[in-house]
Amino acid sequence: MIRRDTTTRRAQMTPAARAGRQDGEPPGLDWRTVLLRVAGAGLLIATGAIHLDLYLTGYRTIPTIGWLFLLQVIAAFGLGLAVLATGWPVIGGRTADGGRSVIAGRLAAAGGAGFALATLGGYLLSVWIGLFGFKEVRTTTGIVAGVIEVAAFAALAALALAPVAQAPGARAAATPAGFPARIPPAIARAAATAAAGLAVAALVLLAVAVAGANPPAPAATGTGTALKTTTIGGTTVLTNARGLTLYSFAPDTPTTSKCYGSCAAYWPPVTGTATASPGLPGRIGTITRTGGSRQLTYNGHPLYTYIGDSAPGQAKGNNLNLNGGLWHEVSVSR
């Protein structure tokens, strides 16, 4: 009797009731959107981790650039978490909150994509022309970060444009039909094409910047070139023949340089041989670097220039904690 009543009730269920019941059943996850969301957020957090490492290992001491790096770290982690935390109702096709989750998810993804592209743009500008007196050189870390930023832009742009998922046979959800909760297919296709073009252009520009940003050759003084002195901020400092300030690296020893690889790209060793200008106190010598070149020393300190100094009279590298240690202008006592 009970089974017959149940069968009768099911048979008498109206099409509208069946549709409403079907609409209430949660559909499966849209795994494409899930992957885009997780990948985009992970890539943002990865670039934030790279910038955090650079900030902690020395960039924090560079004027202006230091706090810009800190802002990048905060923004990367914040946007990554926002992408993970918003938009999930889109995956299940449920928009019971009136579409607010859809809009929040799209905005978080769009913001993350814009941030990734802007961060890459800042890196390219610092390689080409320099920013706030700081000029980047080609490093493995910079290349990896650039590629991650392009990938983050591509994933997050695709996520921002992803259509709202619906359960098979379900009625249209009661969400706002306007932008940005729902993006018309024609606009979505045009935006996706533009985003793909931007991603390709970003990769090309990154490759061009990397190819043209080879680490500078060591700043050779040349045989017989005299070292000189100048006064900067009331301190008499040692300079090379071009008048560029010379620096010492705290981790060095009187017989060994600790600055190689990307360090030597930012701080070109002063190589060759030289004699002191008349009246210059102190001892000038040389050490042998890995590879056989001779690096000049002054009073037991291997000498370097700094790529941030573009003209005589500058000492932008003084007291920077960068590339594993402190850098100091080489002062001369008379």
Chunked in runs of 10, what are the mean pLDDT values of the chain (334 residues)? 48 48 49 92 96 84 86 96 80 52 89 96 89 81 93 95 62 48 80 92 90 56 68 92 93 94 87 75 90 91 89 89 90 78
- Say if 219 falls within a structural domain: no
130: left (phi over 0), alpha (psi -120 to 50) or beta: left
- Which residues fall within 8 angstroms of residue 181, CB to CB, at 6 or more apart? 95, 99, 102, 103, 106, 164, 175
Closest CA to 280 of 220, 235, 316, 239: 239
- Say if 218 falls within a structural domain: no
pLDDT at 215: 53
154 and 47 inside one domain: yes
In the listed set 211, 240, 255, which residue is the last one of a domain according to the structure? 211
- Say if 216 falls within a structural domain: no
Could you give the CA distance from residue 224 to residue 212 in angstroms, rounded to a whole number? 32
207 and 230 inside one domain: no
197 and 243 inside one domain: no
Q: Is the peptide bond before 180 cis (omega within 30 degrees of 0)?
A: yes
103 and 233 inside one domain: no
Half-sphere exposure of 4 (CA within 13 A, CB side): 1
pLDDT at 66: 87
177 and 298 inside one domain: no
- Say if 250 falls within a structural domain: yes
Q: How many domains does the chain have?
A: 2
Query: What burial class does residue 22 get, using C-beta atoms within 10 Å of its C-beta: 0-12 exposed, 13-18 middle, 19+ buried?
Result: middle
- Say if 180 falls within a structural domain: yes
In the listed set 211, 238, 269, which residue is the last one of a domain according to the structure? 211
254 and 308 inside one domain: yes
179 and 305 inside one domain: no
pLDDT at 225: 57
- Say if 217 falls within a structural domain: no
Query: What burial class does residue 217 get, using C-beta atoms within 10 Å of its C-beta: 0-12 exposed, 13-18 middle, 19+ buried?
Result: exposed
85 and 19 inside one domain: yes
Q: Tell me 178's DSSP state.
A: S
159 and 31 inside one domain: yes
Closest CA to 117 of 83, 167, 152, 159: 152
- Say if 220 falls within a structural domain: no
Closest CA to 330 of 310, 311, 307, 306: 306
154 and 20 inside one domain: yes
- Say if 248 falls within a structural domain: yes
Tell me which residue range forms the domain holding 160. Answer: 7-211
57 and 101 inside one domain: yes
168 and 260 inside one domain: no
In the listed set 168, 186, 211, which residue is the last one of a domain according to the structure? 211
Could you give the CA distance from residue 43 to residue 120 in angstroms, rounded to a whole number? 13
